[in-house]
């Protein structure tokens, strides 16, 4: 691959981001190859929450196009300047229904569908535009009371409701989960394998050929998630560093 010429004014911080991205991409590649998978089937989403806009731009210049944010407000302050250049926005946090109207135009993906009214609002927000949102149902695989998402056994019911609601501007693309924070490897494998099995069941049961995506894996557990079939990994800390960045906010 031919890399674009480096701008001479890159700060140390920018060089670090490019370096971190290379390290993360290599780790993704290795994990995929190790699992007998095509590395191109794993999309890296750089989670840029709390990261200042200039740093997001540095990551974009280093070739990163998919970014994840967990609040609407923050994304609106960072994404617009990069949107025309080809940034793909992923909404990965809890979304209040009354914020749904801000999603089209800033985000292409919403990973956190957990109730029908939210999906209805999102679809309506896209009406009159040519926007169409790719969405994932968030599942609380481990039933952690501190995490959002539908219980595994409620997933079919929610998808049934979403399909019956005839949401013209919403595509159902797969499932998302957060692994247990302090789980040992066996527990992480088990959590991600259960999401994979659930996705397969959903795709079959509802005859959804596009229901192919598994958004799972973060800085501490992405190789395990890739081994279990992740098609999207959401990585923040390994790219941008600890969120002490907060103090450097633009
Ligand atoms: C912050 C966040 C991530 C990234 O976590 P890291 O451990 O920093 O890689 C991934 N997914 C969600 C939903 C997040 O909120």
- Encode pLDDT of 165-201 as tens digits: 999 999 999 999 999 988 899 999 999 999 999 999 9
Q: Which domain holds residue 165?
A: 17-245
Does a structural domain hold residue 5?
Answer: no
Contact in structure between 217 and 234 (CB atoms under 8 Å): yes
Does the CB atom of residue 50 touch ligand 1 within 6 A? no
Does the CB atom of residue 232 touch ligand 1 within 6 A? no
Does the CB atom of residue 177 touch ligand 1 within 6 A? no
Q: How far is the CA of 110 from the centre of ligand 1 (A)?
A: 14
CA gap 50, 246 in Å, rounded: 5
Does a structural domain hold residue 199?
Answer: yes
Q: Please state the rounded mean pLDDT for residues 14-43.
A: 94
Does a structural domain hold residue 24?
Answer: yes
Does the CB atom of residue 47 touch ligand 1 within 6 A? yes
For the ranges 1-5, 12-16, 142-146, which has the lowest average pLDDT?
1-5
Q: How far is the CA of 233 from the centre of ligand 1 (A)?
A: 9
In the chain, the percentage of residues whose pLDDT exceeds 70 is 91
Does a structural domain hold residue 8?
Answer: no
Does a structural domain hold residue 177?
Answer: yes
Q: Whose CA is nearest to atom 11 of ligand 1?
A: 234
Give the confidence band of 226 by pLDDT, cuts at 50, 70, 90.
very high
pLDDT at site 228: 98
| Domain at 134, CATH number | 3.20.20.10
Does a structural domain hold residue 85?
Answer: yes
How many domains is the chain built from?
Answer: 1
Does the CB atom of residue 234 touch ligand 1 within 6 A? yes
| 45-102 pLDDT tens trace | 999 999 999 999 999 999 999 999 999 999 998 888 787 789 999 999 999 999 999 9
Give the confidence band of 40 by pLDDT, cuts at 50, 70, 90.
very high
Q: How far is the CA of 58 from the centre of ligand 1 (A)?
A: 19
pLDDT at site 243: 67
CA gap 81, 144 in Å, rounded: 37
Does a structural domain hold residue 2?
Answer: no
CA gap 177, 138 in Å, rounded: 6
Q: Is the pLDDT of residue 244 over 60?
A: no
Q: Please state the rounded mean pLDDT for residues 128-138.
A: 93
Does a structural domain hold residue 221?
Answer: yes
């Amino acid at each position: 691959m031919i890399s674009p010429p480096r701008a001479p004014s890159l700060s140390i911080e920018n060089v670090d981001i490019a370096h971190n991205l290379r390290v993360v991409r290599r780790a993704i590649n290795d994990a995929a190859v190790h699992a007998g998978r095509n590395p191109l089937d794993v999309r890296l989403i750089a989670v840029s929450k709390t990261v200042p806009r200039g740093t997001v731009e540095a990551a974009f210049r280093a070739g990163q196009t998919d970014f994840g944010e967990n609040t609407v407000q923050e994304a609106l302050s960072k994404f617009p300047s990069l949107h025309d250049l080809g940034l793909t926005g992923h909404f990965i946090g809890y979304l209040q229904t009354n914020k749904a109207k801000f999603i089209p135009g800033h985000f292409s993906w919403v990973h956190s569908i957990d109730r029908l009214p939210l999906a209805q609002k999102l679809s309506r927000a896209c009406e009159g535009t040519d926007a169409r949102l790719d969405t994932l149902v968030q599942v609380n695989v481990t039933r952690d009371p501190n995490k959002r998402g539908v219980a595994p056994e409620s997933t079919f019911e929610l998808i049934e409701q979403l399909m019956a609601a005839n949401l013209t501007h919403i595509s159902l693309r797969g499932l998302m989960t957060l692994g247990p924070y302090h789980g040992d490897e066996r527990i992480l494998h088990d959590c991600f394998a259960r999401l994979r099995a659930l996705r397969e069941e959903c795709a079959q049961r509802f005859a959804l050929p596009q229901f192919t995506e598994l958004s799972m894996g973060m800085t501490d557990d992405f190789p395990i998630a890739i081994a279990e079939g992740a098609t999207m990994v959401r990585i923040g800390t390994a790219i941008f560093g600890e969120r002490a960045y907060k103090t450097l906010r633009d």
